[in-house]
Structure 1
Amino acid sequence: MTIAAIIATCDRPEMLGRALESVRRQGLVVDEIIVVNDGVSDVRVTGARVLRIGPHAGPGAARNAGAHAATADNLVFLDDDDEWSPDHVATVSALLAHGEVAATALRKHARTGDVKIRPPPPTLNASEWLIQNQGIQGSNLAIRRNVFLNLMGFDELLWCGEDMDFAIRCADNGVRYAMSETPTVTYHAHSGPRITSPDQRHRHAHRTFLAAHGSRMSATQVQAFRERVTALFGVDPGPVPQLVWVLGPPGAGKTTWVTRCMRGRDRVFEFGEAMPWLDGADLGVRTAKRHISAAIRATESQRPEGDRRLFVTTSYFGPEDLGPPQSFEHIVAIVPSEARWRAQLEKREGFVDEQQVREHAHWTTRFGTGARAASAGAE
């Protein structure tokens, strides 16, 4: 099995040099070394392929770019401010012989000089990742490339918490997990710039996390999550957004609900306005309104009294195209089936981009549980 080492870096050349040296010291041959530059400054290294993205596209985007560029069977990730022990690649390679995703223990060096060992979790249990990271991050994670691509990689909207989200999706999809309590990664806490830094992007990221996973969290868990984010990053992500995606016809809903529920909203985008290229004639405005109506009806009881904010779009990409997600608490999307999506791509582009098809499958699968619940509630 071939190995690709993927290093995400952001304007820290001295730390990157240390990380690269730890890769070159591996006892097991690393077939590919890919450095993904998410910073402003140029990166000049020898013996590695350098990709440039961003700047500041985020850690998930950097790792995804490296994974897509790699050709090796297994992906082993490293952040530029951390380093591997000489036996790290050999250890995770042995784990991936019978697992699909693997992690080893971290040796954490605090700024105070204290050193602590943090083992990875013994199993992947999605519920345990809802509030905080359980010990798998960007430097002790290894995974089979085909599995990583099937999972659509890291969520690039998450500037932080992307590792938690990824672990949850691994667990939800039954990915075989293997771990070692041997510390083979040194994590360095430092006062300089990090791949992610506290700002409003963190609030956006954590609201995105809550939108994806808040439906399975108790009120106590949501409060604990908000308190932890506030303590770590100085921003409160707010309550769980009522995010609903309609995946195909929900099988219920009357147009009268559209009139009733949309009346008085501060801002409403009806079918066809958000993404005109989807061609409303394909689905039909009347049918689209029925879909929107069913979703609104399903969430009517969930909205706080007096809340008039509603976002309706025809795209599964959500509100990024039209404004800050913080502006909307409730999002309704009309998402075409895969067959219709392929037909629309063929019509618009003249060919079918399989990457876009995979992204469509990723988003519809990701938000499918919430959508099914919404559809059921609308009947």
Structure 2
Amino acid sequence: MLPIAAVIATKPRLNLLIRHALPAIEAQRRKPDVVVVVSDRRHFSAEEQETLSRLAPSVKVVFGQNQNSQGAAGSWNTGFSILNKLYEDCYVAIIDDDDHWHANHLCSCEATSNNGQADVVLSGINVASGNAILARNIPQNISEGDFLTGNPGWQGSNTFIRLSTALRVGGYTDGLISCNDRDFAIRALQLDDLDIQYTRRVTVDWHINQSPDALSAVGSEQKLKGSAQFLKLHGGKMSPVQRKQFFRRMESLFGLTKSTIEQTVQGM
């Protein structure tokens, strides 16, 4: 079996790492072989590294700082670069600092990987707000077109992908503010030989809008810019119907109108 590496990108938000991501990693039945924590905006102090490492005492924790454009995409790509120096290949399991893995998440993904042959393993994901579960997304048989109009359930925190495959995709799009998971999925699904397996069970809790600077915050500047960037990258692939579906979803979920997004695209 391939090694498994957990990757966390954070601004850093220490309180969320302490409350959510690191305890979830430590609780895994199948512990990752290494945890890579990438800080986006500054170095971790020695004291912070010690505090965070104590939360996952059974796992090796490696710290890094984003070496690319500021944001989650650059931080995840930095994590890939760190792992590329540690392993010939491995599975990369991403978890956002404010999300939660169920204790069986990594063992379920590993068991579904066909002994390390799968490029990607996707598990189900709860969309949670506070203590309420708003939706349960259990992806299966996903296609590129699904991600042009929305997201059927491939988020950051249920990404489980071979490092070699992530690098073949080209990593995340540096500088893309939001919609990173959809952009990455579209490019991954363009690979003719991509082998995706599905656990068909929920093992991840995606906590939405826990802070005003969340990339998915309703009506936020970061969501507007990220959506405009995504439209500029992939709008040409959309049919007229898909384009309408894209704008309808952006307005209903995030309060962003078609005219506002298109004006933002024109200003880029």
Please report the TM-score for the alignment, with normalisation by the length of structure 2.
0.80
Cα 1:183–1:119 change in 2 (3 A) is same
Partner of 2:56 in structure 1? none
- 5+ residue gaps in structure 1? 242-323, 329-379
Against the structure 1 CA distance between its residues 199 and 115, is the aligned structure 2 distance closer, same or farther, given a 3 Å change threshold?
closer
Provide the TM-score with structure 1 as the length reference. Answer: 0.58
Higher-Rg structure is 1
Secondary structure of the corresponding residue to residue 95 of structure 2: strand
Q: Which amino acid letter does the alignment assign opposite residue 207 of structure 2?
A: H
| 2: CA distance, partners of 1:55 / 1:215 | 27
AA of the residue aligned to 1:32: V
Relative distance call for 1:190 and 1:126 in structure 2 (3 A) is: closer
Partner of 1:140: 158
Say yes or no: does 1:8 pair with 2:9: yes
Q: Which residue of 1 aligns with 2:223?
A: 202
| Aligned-pair Cα RMSD in Å | 2.7
Q: Quick one: which amino acid aligns to residue 109 of structure 1?
A: A
Q: CA deviation at 1:52?
A: 1.8
Cα distance in 1 between the residues matched to 2:15 and 2:222:
26
Aligned residues between the structures: 245
In structure 2, C-alpha distance between the alignment counterparts of 1:190 and 1:214, rounded to whole Å: 26
- Which of 98, 104, 107 aligns to 1:90? It is 107
Query: CA, structure 1 residues 192+207, in 2 after alignment: closer, same or farther (shift >3 Å)?
Result: closer
Residues 1:127 and 2:129 are matched in the alignment: no
Q: Check conservation: 1:58, 1:195, Cα contact below 8 A.
A: no
Paired residue type of 1:183:
V
Task: For 1:56-205, list aligned pairs within 5 A.
Answer: 57-70=70-83, 71-72=86-87, 73-96=90-113, 97-111=116-130, 113-116=131-134, 118-174=136-192, 175-196=194-215, 197=217, 199-205=220-226
Deviations 1:44-80 (A, max 9, x none): 3215211122898122111111111113411010000
Contact 2:128 2:135 in 1 (8 A): no
CA distance in 2, matches of 1:188, 1:327: 32
The alignment-based identity, stated in percent, is 26
Preserved contact between residue 203 and residue 236 of structure 1 (Cα < 8 Å): no
Matches within 5 A, 1:1-379: 1-17=2-18, 18-39=20-41, 42=44, 43-44=48-49, 45-46=52-53, 47-53=60-66, 57-70=70-83, 71-72=86-87, 73-96=90-113, 97-111=116-130, 113-116=131-134, 118-174=136-192, 175-196=194-215, 197=217, 199-236=220-257, 238=259, 326-327=266-267
CA distance in 2, matches of 1:200, 1:103: 30
The amino acid of 1:327's aligned partner reads G
Q: CA deviation at 1:164?
A: 0.8
Q: Deviations over 1:61-109 (max 9, x none)?
A: 1111111111341101000001111211111122233420111111332
Distance between the aligned counterparts of 2:155 and 2:69, measured in 1?
19
Aligned counterparts of 1:6 and 1:105: Cα–Cα separation in 2: 19
Offset from partner CA, 1:328-379 (integer Å, 9 cap, x none): 6xxxxxxxxxxxxxxxxxxxxxxxxxxxxxxxxxxxxxxxxxxxxxxxxxxx
Query: Following the alignment from structure 2 to structure 1, what is the Cα–Cα distance between the partners of residues 128 and 254?
Result: 20
Match for 1:88: what amino acid?
Answer: H
Quick one: structure 1 residues 83 and 168, their matched pair in 2 at CA, closer, same or farther if it must change by over 3 Å?
Answer: same
Give distance in 2, aligned partners of 1:54 and 1:234: 33
